[in-house]
Amino acid sequence: MTEVGAGLAAARPAREIRAAERIHVVGVAGAGASAAALLADRAGALVGGCDRGGPSPYTVALADAGIPMTWSHDAAHVTAVPPPDRLAVTKALTAIQPDHPELVAARDAGIPVESWQQVIADAAIGRELIGIAGTHGKSTTAGWLVHVLVTAGMDPCAFVGALLPSTVTGGAPATARWGAGRAFVVEADEYAGNFDAYRPAIAVLTSAEWDHPDVFRDAAAVTDAFEGWLRRMPLDATVVANAADPGVRAILARLVDRPTTLLTYALLDDDDRTPARPAGITGRIELADPGGTTLVIDGPGFSAEPLAVRLGTAGRHNAANALAVAAAARVAGMEAPAIVAGLASFTGVGRRLERKGEAAGVVVYDDYAHHPTAIRETLRAIRQREPGRRVWAVYEPLTYHRTAALLDAFADALSGADAVVIADIWAGRDPDTTIASARGLAHAVHTRRPGMVVDAPGSVEATAAWLSREVRSGDAVLVMGGGRSYRIAELLVEALGAMEAG
């Protein structure tokens, strides 16, 4: 397994960020690192950052905040006078480039090198930390909870791994929000112990499934990681857990010896009124149509009779996410009417079944889905949103190791579309790019659906160009992935728009 995080200072109890503390963020254009920079800046630190990848959608808010950024990596960023008090980096960087010049310079100078999650945890000191964890649904659930808290006037702080809209941030879309309220919502990622810096008062566990095969050998290792994190929570903390998820139930079974307050929730099937584990809050989908989903919620704090709420989101997975938000909001002290209002007015976060546009009769969506389960559920959601259309699943695989380890599961999930296109694999932190290929995944899909249109055109740009020639009016294109796949959607909408205009 890959040793990720070697050379980083170990996660420690959070400490308050000092006024004018100098923090340099390496890889500042990333979703999480940009949030760390924004939150540290608002907490009073002097923040700067660098990223050789250049500006990204996440750096717009940093530029607006006046945070200085450079688009190269250089030891001079560390040896400058005065030097930074600490460096914040992503753990993956220490695995793929342990001799990174800024990391080497910091260690030579005795400057602490910490994860950007540690910076966020430090910025949260004095607040009620609410950690949203799970293999799937973290960003939507965290963003939805932030929206609910904002609409109720609770003015939370937050880090979410997807862009929050301007209506939530009060400025440019960003992955962070600073507020004066008590609540501080964080997306808590299990990868290589990324969530270790967080000690939440409320922990939400949406799901637990094998992912990240570069750091987790099997499903048992994933269960171990979640159990360890929950055991490090304060004894008076509350766990909000999805009782309908088998992986979550396995984790809860290990925690029976711990005196933690537990509130479970579960989305029930149409023919099942009793979840596998008794749940405090339950929900049932009453109606699912192109405009959204009607969810009936029952349980403590939601009136004597089941309460119906109309969600703007599509898909069973989002109905389950809504229940997670409802349960967490109840624990945070909100009343049912305010929770329902917030659930109903949520319009989503960036790259989660995000409608990018329609041109030449073709509608294009973009989503971060990069795991077989997420792909399967997102395909179901787009069929709810766009019934009757031919659905194209366009996938840029995220990392070679994940593609190789889950190849059959990816092929099974993608074959649920009407046509499939695989872009070149985004390597990310992978040192070995020989263990899988886009064409190999396309072949695996083809063997399952021999009559289906399946292709692997190449790069993100080549994929968008290929699609622009092949799609036809009435189609729905769902672009998925975690690297540069969002550019496929953008480029396709541009190309179709040009064709329509010309």
**Does pLDDT of 2 surpass 90?**
no
The one-letter code for the residue type at 435 is I
- 62 pLDDT more than 50: yes
Helix (H, G, I), strand (E, B) or coil at 321: helix
pLDDT of 304 over the 80 cut: no
Q: How many helices (H) and strands (E) does the chain have?
A: 18, 21
Mean pLDDT of the chain: 95
Residues 224 and 301 in one domain: yes
pLDDT for position 72: 96
Q: What percent of the chain has pLDDT over 70?
A: 97
Determine contact, residues 143/164, Cβ cutoff 8 Å: yes
Query: Please, are residues 313 and 322 in contact by the beta-carbon 8 Å criterion?
Result: yes
Instruction: Locate 129 and state its tokens.
Output: 């930390």
pLDDT in tens, 277-299: 456 999 999 999 999 999 999 99
Same domain, residue pair 114 and 139: no
- Res 275 pLDDT > 60: no
pLDDT digits (tens, 9 = 90+) for 472-483: 999 999 999 999
Give the end of a domain, one of 345, 365, 387.
345
Bridge partners of 265, per DSSP, are: 242, 281
Quote the pLDDT of residue 98. 79
Which residue, 139, 99, 93, is CA-closest to 114? 93
- Looking at the structure, do residues 277 and 249 belong to the same domain, yes or no? yes
Does the structure show a pLDDT above 50 at 276? no
**d(C-alpha 29, C-alpha 44), whole Å:** 20
On whether both 194 and 259 belong to a single domain, the answer is yes
Domain boundary, last residue among 311, 345, 379: 345
Dihedral angle of Cα 152, 158, 160, 162, to the nearest 10 degrees: 70
Q: Which of 66-70, 256-260, 371-375 has the lowest mean pLDDT?
A: 256-260
Calculate mean pLDDT across residues 423-434. Answer: 91
Domain count, the chain: 3
Q: Within this chain, do residues 397 and 329 fall inside the same structural domain, yes or no?
A: no
Given 312, 345, 378, the domain boundary residue is: 345
Q: Which domain range does residue 27 map to?
A: 22-120
Please tell me the distance from the alpha carbon of residue 439 to that of residue 447, in angstroms, as a whole number. Answer: 12
What CATH number corresponds to the domain at position 474?
Answer: 3.90.190.20
Specify whether 493 is located in the same domain as 417: yes
pTM comes to 0.96
**Are 301 and 334 members of one domain?**
yes
- 464 in a structural domain: yes
